[in-house]
């Protein structure tokens, strides 16, 4: 089971645009690489596969800046992000990004990283960004590992004969450490929910037969407990037993997973909602000439609707304009809250901020709706993925629309079943949607698709509350979406090599 936290993987991370996979993912991989190296880096080479997603998008989507920021310890939301490569040069750190064939490339967002520290220590790792800002370290010095930065993680390379004694030492703190043996060497890998005590570290480093020790400090709040559910069927069972709505259950879910009180969860939900609201306001007020390829339009659409100049105004259009406003900020590499990804960061705020600011919904209900959206996203991530590189736009805008539909149902007093059904039909409406971003920029068609996601969410919530009986439940719908995604050719999965990206006009923009 994936141990999914709503704040870590669904309504988050709080990040800089434009892409959670490429920008936030690159940042977390840089941060983990620095942690594994354990000393300041002096030379770093990052290699992307020519057939993967990064090769064409790493500059456009600021993977270079975000990786450098993570490596150098600059926060992703820090303004110094934009100078990260210059700061690296000033500090005498040489960072190169190259494109060449990766051996055994097993993910479209894979990268190989070779680092040399100021003290001459060398390290080679294989990493992958797996969607919504989540990352995996898949190899350390050719040893297969499965590290995520969600825990305190450690790998110990030792003589094969010493492995069992190291495993026993680590098992005092870390569940069931794994052992791999290759020739005369072994790798013992372990993850823990609490920091490894200094005394244990000293004992392991000085134990006979130990060759190298690599450590990862967690990059987000550590998951303290296994999630109570990973499917919509389990969600409905628990909600029925406790007589909870999806939002109430989501609050309990996150409190249990992170070991927080419900008050802490609500405080963090409000912090993230305020970040969404700020992005909406900033995007509506943005007066610059261009976002990336496009002129900003959200502010004008919103203002015209407010002044009754738009013949087709109303809640849907305002939610759509607000969703686009967030995407303007995302495209400008501003601060947004991924929900569930950077490319789909506008849809949920479009719905929530519209209901909060225009419809007079109290904050408490908005926060519960936000958590309901997070719970639906946690189920999607458990069964499928948020990576457009794996399953197309249906798992970005599709997932965001499903989450926002559930939020709207919850806000208007609907049951957990109704929230799940609204999420299901929102997905059903967009199944098959490809990722065909023009020129590798998260802009065309991403901005208007976020607007569509917000309107689709409100529509689906209204249909379910109004009495539409959904015959294909959320679990089956997610599974179908995932299967369709895996059938898509690579050209239509975030590589800018198909669909709208190949239109003659798109190329000329």
Binding residues for ligand SF4 (CB under 6 A) = 343-344, 388, 393, 396-397, 435-437, 442, 445-446, 449, 494
Residue whose tokens read 């912090």: 271
Q: Please report how many Cα atoms fall inside a 13 Å half-sphere around the Cα of residue 509, on the Cβ side.
A: 20
Burial of 492 from C-beta contacts in 10 A (0-12 / 13-18 / 19+): buried
Least separation in angstroms between residue 434's CB and ligand SF4 is: 7
Residue 206 or 505 with smaller CB distance to ligand SF4: 505
Nearer to ligand SF4 by C-beta: 185 or 484?
A: 484
Q: Integer distance in angstroms from the first to the last C-alpha of the chain?
A: 44
Nearer Cβ to ligand SF4 (248/436): 436
Nearer to ligand SF4, 27 or 214 (CB): 27
Query: What are the φ/ψ torsions at residue 253 (nearest 5 degrees)?
Result: -55, -50
d(C-alpha 83, C-alpha 1), whole Å:
39
Q: Compute the least distance from the CB of residue 507 to ligand SF4, in Å.
A: 16
368 contact partners, CB below 8 Å, separation of at least 6: 245, 247, 248, 250, 251, 410, 411
- HSE of 143 in the Cβ direction (CA atoms, 13 Å)? 25
Q: How far is the CB of 436 from ligand SF4 (least distance, A)?
A: 6
Q: Is the Cβ of residue 170 or residue 446 nearer to ligand SF4 in the bound state?
A: 446
Q: Based on the number of CB atoms within 10 Å of its own CB, is 357 exposed (0-12), middle (13-18) or buried (19 or more)? A: middle
Nearest residue to ligand SF4 on Cβ basis = 343
**Residue 396 beta carbon to ligand SF4: minimum distance, rounded to whole angstroms:** 4
Whether residue 14 is preceded by a cis peptide bond, meaning omega within 30 degrees of 0, is no
Torsion 444-373-317-458 (CA) sign: positive
Q: Which of 485, 465, 365, 386 is CA-nearest to residue 425?
A: 465
Nearest-approach distance from CB 108 to ligand SF4, in angstroms: 12
Q: Considering beta carbons, is residue 154 or 442 the nearer one to ligand SF4?
A: 442
Q: How far is the CB of 494 from ligand SF4 (least distance, A)?
A: 5
| The pair of three-digit structure tokens given for residue 49, joined into one six-digit string | 């596969």
Nearest distance, CB of residue 399 and ligand SF4, angstroms? 10
How far apart (Å, rounded) are the C-alpha atoms in residues 109 and 124? 17
Per DSSP (E only), the strands in 326-372 are 335-337
Of the pair 213, 323, the CB lying nearest ligand SF4 is at 323
Rounded CA gap, 192 and 176, in Å?
10
Tokens of 261: 């009180």
**Residue 437 Cβ, how far from ligand SF4 at the closest point, in Å?**
4
Task: Count other C-beta atoms under 10 Å from residue 61's C-beta.
Answer: 29
Q: Which is nearer to ligand SF4, 154 or 395 (CB)?
A: 395
Q: Shortest gap between Cβ of 453 and ligand SF4 (angstroms)?
A: 9
Select 69 or 344, whichever has its Cβ closest to ligand SF4: 344
């Amino acid at each position: 089971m994936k141990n999914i936290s709503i704040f870590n993987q669904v309504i988050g991370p709080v990040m800089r645009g434009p892409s959670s996979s490429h920008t936030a993912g690159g940042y977390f991989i840089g941060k983990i690489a620095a942690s594994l190296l354990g000393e300041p880096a002096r030379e770093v080479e990052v290699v992307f596969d020519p057939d993967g997603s990064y090769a064409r998008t790493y500059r456009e989507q600021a993977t270079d800046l975000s990786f450098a920021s993570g490596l150098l310890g600059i926060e992703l939301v820090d303004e110094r992000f934009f100078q990260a490569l210059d700061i690296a040069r000033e500090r005498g750190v040489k960072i190169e990004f190259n494109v060449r064939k990766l051996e055994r490339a097993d993910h479209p967002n894979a990268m190989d990283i070779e680092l040399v520290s100021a003290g001459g220590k060398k390290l080679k790792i294989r990493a992958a960004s797996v969607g919504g800002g989540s990352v995996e370290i898949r190899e350390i010095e050719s040893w297969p590992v499965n590290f995520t930065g969600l825990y305190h993680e450690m790998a110990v390379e030792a003589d094969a004969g010493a492995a069992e004694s190291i495993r026993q030492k680590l098992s005092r703190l870390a569940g069931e450490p794994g052992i791999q043996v290759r020739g005369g060497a072994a790798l013992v890998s372990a993850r823990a929910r609490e920091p490894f005590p200094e005394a244990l570290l000293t004992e392991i480093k000085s134990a006979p037969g130990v060759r190298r020790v690599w450590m990862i400090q967690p990059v987000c709040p550590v998951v303290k407990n296994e999630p109570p559910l990973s499917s919509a069927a389990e969600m409905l069972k628990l909600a029925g037993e406790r007589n909870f709505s999806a939002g109430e259950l989501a609050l309990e879910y996150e409190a249990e997973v992170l070991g927080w009180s419900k008050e802490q969860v609500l405080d963090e939900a409000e912090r993230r909602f305020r970040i969404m609201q700020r992005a909406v306001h900033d995007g509506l007020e943005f007066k610059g000439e261009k976002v990336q390829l496009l002129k900003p339009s959200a502010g004008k659409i919103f203002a015209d609707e407010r002044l009754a100049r738009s013949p087709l105004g109303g809640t849907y259009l305002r939610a759509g304009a607000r969703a686009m406003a967030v995407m303007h900020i995302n495209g400008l590499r501003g601060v947004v809250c991924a929900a569930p990804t950077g490319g789909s960061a506008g849809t949920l705020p479009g719905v929530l901020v519209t209901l909060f600011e225009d419809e007079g919904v109290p904050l408490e209900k908005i926060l519960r709706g936000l958590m309901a959206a997070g719970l639906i996203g946690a189920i999607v991530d458990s069964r499928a993925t948020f990576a457009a590189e794996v399953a197309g736009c249906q798992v970005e805008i599709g997932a965001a629309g499903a989450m926002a539909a559930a939020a709207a149902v919850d806000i208007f007093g609907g049951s957990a079943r109704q929230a799940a059904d609204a999420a299901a039909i929102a997905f059903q409406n967009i199944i098959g949607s490809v990722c065909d971003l023009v020129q590798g920029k998260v802009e065309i068609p991403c901005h208007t698709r976020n607007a569509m996601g917000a309107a689709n969410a409100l529509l689906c919530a209204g249909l379910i509350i109004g009495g539409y009986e959904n015959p294909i439940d959320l679990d089956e719908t997610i599974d179908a979406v995932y299967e369709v995604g895996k059938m898509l050719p690579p050209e239509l999965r975030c590589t800018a090599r198909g669909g709208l990206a190949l239109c003659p006009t798109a190329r000329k923009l």
